[in-house]
Amino acid sequence: MEVKVGVRVGGRETVLKILGMHCATCSLTVQRALLSVRGVRWAEASLASNEAKVVACPELDYGELLKAVRRVGYDVYREAVYISVPGARPEDAAAVERAARLWGVFKASSNPATAVLYVEYNPLEVGPGDVAEAIRRAGFRIGEVSRSEVDADVDRKAAEREARDLAARLVPAVPIKALLMASMVFPAVPPLVQLLLASVVQLYSGWRFLSGAYRAFRNKTANMDTLVALGTTSTFLYSAYAALTGGRTFFEASAAVITFVLAGRYVEARMKLKTGDAVRRLAQMTPPKARVKTGGGFAEVDSARVEPGQLVEMRELFYPALYLKPELAGLAMALSSITVTANALRLRKA
């Protein structure tokens, strides 16, 4: 893991992976939200990389960055870990949490009854080993360190909920749009019936754009939802007036825009869901234990506690889950066991 930490204009730099940005205005909204956090001196959000760079004073409450991004309707990628602290008494909970609040930790919550600490962190800044070492330096013993699968489940449920919501809004939009388009050639649908059908598409299928535009307006900005909402609402209102006064209607135009944009976002949501499943399957291939080289040989530790630079012994049992090109392993392989570094090699892209 590469830690992206630097110093700029007297502050400390951090990189956040932003979720939910779709356009340049989204990145501008995220940037403004981060700049509103007390202690942030500079911030920049990139739509191309879906990342935000922040320079802030070292005393900044790191969790405030997450709150600011979520307040404007976006999210930050983070991972979670459970750390057992055997021997910690209930009155030690506050001290354990303070020790765990490193730069890069969004949340640290200790359960006094079970002596287990739950930590949400930015993987671009810190890892479970860093947090465990900080707690150890504070005078506490470290037990089991296990990554949480709760966040992965939550991400999948969120993606599934997004796909279901888009599908539910597409169900009435597609046939109604087709009927309204057909009415251009076969004007057999009365204008008032068109108004009723278009209202379903505008107010139900297009509600997510209306609500998104309202949130953008409340944050004094504009985004893609604003564009869709303004275009379709103005067309719908004009056509509603025309339907009541005997003029020409354009309900099919607003319905078509809403349907096409919903269809595009549905495809995007399905692709994200499949990508998340692939990432989770890869994560499940990681063995729970690893043999790490110590001073007197190899010792078995939790995989989550393997640090960059350590030597890890890969036994024959792990060969099916090990994918290394010969040139990456340096051709130094043996049939019984191999030793590789935990650092990722930096290669130039061809």
User: pLDDT tens string for the chain (350 positions)?
Assistant: 233 333 345 578 999 988 877 777 788 889 989 999 999 999 999 887 788 999 999 888 899 999 999 888 788 888 888 888 888 888 888 898 899 889 999 999 888 878 888 999 988 888 888 888 898 898 888 887 877 544 445 456 656 767 788 888 888 888 888 888 877 776 777 888 888 988 999 999 888 889 888 877 877 777 888 899 999 999 999 999 998 998 888 888 888 999 999 888 888 878 877 777 776 677 666 667 777 877 777 888 777 667 767 777 766 444 444 443 333 344 334 333 444 444 444 344 34
CA distances from 330 to 325, 327, 338 (A): 9, 5, 11
pLDDT tens per residue, range 154-172 = 456 656 767 788 888 888 8
Phi, psi (deg, nearest 5) at residue 94: -65, -40
Predicted pLDDT at 9: 52
CA distances from 279 to 47, 239, 286 (A): 22, 47, 12
Report d(CA 164, CA 207) in Å as an integer: 15
> Check: CATH 3.30.70.100 for 1-76?
yes
> Check: CATH 3.30.70.100 for 78-148?
yes
SS (H, E, C) the chain: CCCCCCEECCEEEEEEEEECCCCHHHHHHHHHHHHCCCCEEEEEEECCCCEEEEEECCCCCCHHHHHHHHHCCCEECCEEEEEECCCCCHHHHHHHHHHHCCCCEEEEEEECCCCEEEEEECCCCCCHHHHHHHHHHCCCCCCCEEECCHHHHHHHHHHHHHHHHHHHHHHHHHHHHHHHHHHHHCCCCCHHHHHHHHHHHHHHHCHHHHHHHHHHHHCCCCCHHHHHHHHHHHHHHHHHHHHHHCCCCCHHHHHHHHHHHHHHHHHHHHHHHHHHHHHHHHHHCCCCEEEEEECCEEEEEEHHHCCCCCEEEEEHHHHHHCCCCCCCCCCCCCCCEEEEECCCCCCCCC
One-letter identity of residue 332? A
With beta carbons less than 8 A apart as the criterion, state whether 312 and 306 touch: yes
CA torsion, ordered 23, 28, 33, 34, to nearest 10 deg: 110
Predicted pLDDT at 56: 92
Report d(CA 345, CA 350) in Å as an integer: 15
Number of neighbouring beta carbons within 10 Å of residue 304? 20
In the block, residue with structure tokens 């939802």: 225
* The two structure tokens encoding residue 293: 């080289």
Q: Give residue limits of the domains in the chain.
A: 1-76, 78-148, 153-281, 289-341
Same fold, 1-76 and 78-148: yes
* The two structure tokens encoding residue 130: 């860093």
CA torsion, ordered 52, 53, 55, 59, to nearest 10 deg: 60
Supply the pTM of this predicted model.
Answer: 0.56
Predicted pLDDT at 93: 86
